[in-house]
Amino acid sequence: MKMTIGEIVKAINASIENETDKILQTEVNGVCFDTRRLTPGQLFIPLSGTHDGHDFIENAIKGGAVATLWASDHTNRLPVAIPALVVDDPLAAFQKLSKYYLTKINPRVIAVTGSNGKTTTKDMIASVLSGEFNVTKTYDNFNNEIGVPYTILQMESNTDFLVVEMGMDRPGQLDFLSKLVEPDVAIITMIGEAHIEFFGTRDKIADAKMEITHGLKADGYFIYDGDEPLLIERAKQVDFSKMTFGRSHTDDVFATKTSDGQYNTSFEVNLWPDKKVTIPMMGDYNVNNALAAITVGKLFQIPQIEIIQKLSHFDLTKNRTEWLTGNKGEKILSDVYNSNPTAAREVLTAFSQTDVMGRRIVVLGDMLELGDKSSQMHASLANDIDSNEIAAVYLVGKDMQALYEKLKPVFAPENLHYYQADQLDQLSDDLKRDIQPNDEVMLKASHGIHLENIVEKLTA
């Protein structure tokens, strides 16, 4: 993003005290709402959350911010070292600025949501398109009311496609985000139990996911899992061009002859008889994510050979089914950004089938936001942990105690371990003592459990 302060002022209808032509002509080369990441020349966005962003203005100035948004109810302490663009609500102004910039650059927008797989699908789509076009994609997990505007404002002026991930944890969230970006393509990867605490049923989750179509352009495409009855039913109610992916011959794009390896997965697609597609990820569940990306490639007429080649080595966002090597030479499967019962089962199934010279060790942390049935859902994972395939289990968090109790009759005490969420240091020490060079270790939990700290200690 490159804009002058004057252009930004007009875009968001801000005011500046002691405005001068020199101030208005000052160039801004980006935005930042975290002073720890701020670089010289950026516009600081003081957001309010656990802390009031306005309290960090001195850090922003020291970091080289050339201007800042500023809430009108904070004008009693207006900064003087840099121009302050006064607005009623910095977050709303931030979002309005992103909308303006999106309209100015005018890329085609692909929006992706789903209970599982949206980040991987986003990465795959961006890779498929990147051979023919200039592509910007959501960084990391910047997929909410703050992350989506931030992603938009990271675009270079020559961006052809914006691939934007959209998360949700309440009704209305995707409605807002979809109307903000007005996608040309809206994709739902699948419907699971993520955030069921806030929605109650998968039906209501599906209703909320369908909000991604609310901002879809009239000539846009809705792409979805054609094997999910909840989406099939709802797709009939929206008047857009549609494409489906999945495993059924009734889908527009479907997979056949799937072969799951330890570090990659191969399959064939109905579009290209006898052509094998290989993705650098384990797990049959990742095939559907690739099918969604292939569907997008087909829609935008990307050559078959390029789609296959791009999917074979795309850049995957960190901590999503990522194989690493530990301090002792052990293999570590890190999937610690998020978790829910569907995702945990899929990873456990794939991990249980790997070729291993030593033992398979599983580390599972709480799956958050599952509501009243959380303990029951955690305990149900016992059906996916076979003591003949998994040698040792380490469990973390209060809800994982239900799984711990369920596994007690199955595992010897020395092979079954339970920790509170604040005992990660103890967990790390115990794992380091237990792990041997030929072992494989799988870690999965919701991000709030912070198993990424364990991964860091095992690999540092």
Q: What is the 3-state secondary structure (H, E, C) of the chain?
A: CCEEHHHHHHHHCCECCCCCHHHHCCEECCEECCCCCCCCCCEECCCECCCEHHHHHHHHHHCCCCEEEEEHHHHHHCCCCCCEEEECCHHHHHHHHHHHHHHHHCCEEEEEECCCCHHHHHHHHHHHHHCCCCEEECCCCCCCCCHHHHHHHCCCCCCCEEEEECCCCCCCHHHHHHHHHCCCEEEECCCCCCCHHHHCCHHHHHHHHHHHHCCCCCCCEEEEECCCHHHHHHHCCCCCEEEEEECCCCCCEEEEEEEECCCCEEEEECCEEEEEEEECCCCCCHHHHHHHHHHHHHHCCCCHHHHHHHHCCCCCCCCCCEEEECCCCCEEEEECCCCCHHHHHHHHHHHCCCCCCCCEEEEEECCCCCHHHHHHHHHHHHHHCCCCCCCEEEEECCCHHHHHHHHCCCCCHHHEEEECCCCHHHHHHHHHHHCCCCCEEEEECCHHHCCHHHHHHHHC
Q: Is the pLDDT of residue 123 over 70?
A: yes
Q: What does the pLDDT read at residue 188?
A: 98
Q: What does the pLDDT read at residue 298?
A: 97
What would the mean pLDDT of 140-159 be, rounded to a whole number? 95
What would the mean pLDDT of 154-167 be, rounded to a whole number? 97
Per-residue pLDDT tens digits for 231-248: 999 999 999 999 999 999
- β-strand 392-396 against 416-419: which pairing, if any? parallel
Q: What does the pLDDT read at residue 195?
A: 60
Q: Is the pLDDT of residue 7 over 90?
A: yes
Confidence band for 262, pLDDT divided at 50, 70 and 90: confident
Highest mean pLDDT among 273-282, 319-328, 349-358, 403-412: 403-412
Q: Is the pLDDT of residue 460 over 90?
A: no
Q: What does the pLDDT read at residue 282?
A: 87
Distance of CA 276 to the CA centre of its chain: 27
Cα distance between residue 362 and residue 59, in whole Å? 42
| Domains of the chain listed by start with CATH number | 3-87 (3.40.1390.10), 106-311 (3.40.1190.10), 322-459 (3.90.190.20)
Cα distance between residue 29 and residue 7, in whole Å? 12
Q: Is the pLDDT of residue 373 over 90?
A: no
Yes or no: say if 135 and 160 are a contact pair by the CB < 8 Å rule.
yes
Q: What does the pLDDT read at residue 18?
A: 87
Distance of CA 372 to the CA centre of its chain: 25
Query: Considering the chain, what is the average pLDDT of its residues?
Result: 95
- The DSSP symbol for 48 reads B
Cross-strand pairs, 331? 325, 440
Confidence band for 69, pLDDT divided at 50, 70 and 90: very high
Q: Is the pLDDT of residue 81 over 70?
A: yes
Annotated binding site for ATP: 114-120
Annotated binding site: 114-120
What would the mean pLDDT of 135-150 be, rounded to a whole number? 94
What would the mean pLDDT of 444-459 be, rounded to a whole number? 95
Q: What does the pLDDT read at residue 271?
A: 96
Q: What does the pLDDT read at residue 169?
A: 84
Confidence band for 197, pLDDT divided at 50, 70 and 90: low
What would the mean pLDDT of 432-442 be, rounded to a whole number? 97
Q: What does the pLDDT read at residue 376?
A: 94
Q: What does the pLDDT read at residue 192?
A: 80
Q: What does the pLDDT read at residue 338?
A: 85
* Percent of the residues in the chain that have a pLDDT greater than 70, as a whole number: 99
What would the mean pLDDT of 164-186 be, rounded to a whole number? 96
Q: Is the pLDDT of residue 332 over 80?
A: yes
What would the mean pLDDT of 369-397 be, rounded to a whole number? 94
Per-residue pLDDT tens digits for 21-31: 999 999 999 99
Cα distance between residue 153 and residue 100, in whole Å? 10
Q: What does the pLDDT read at residue 194?
A: 66
What would the mean pLDDT of 140-153 be, rounded to a whole number? 95
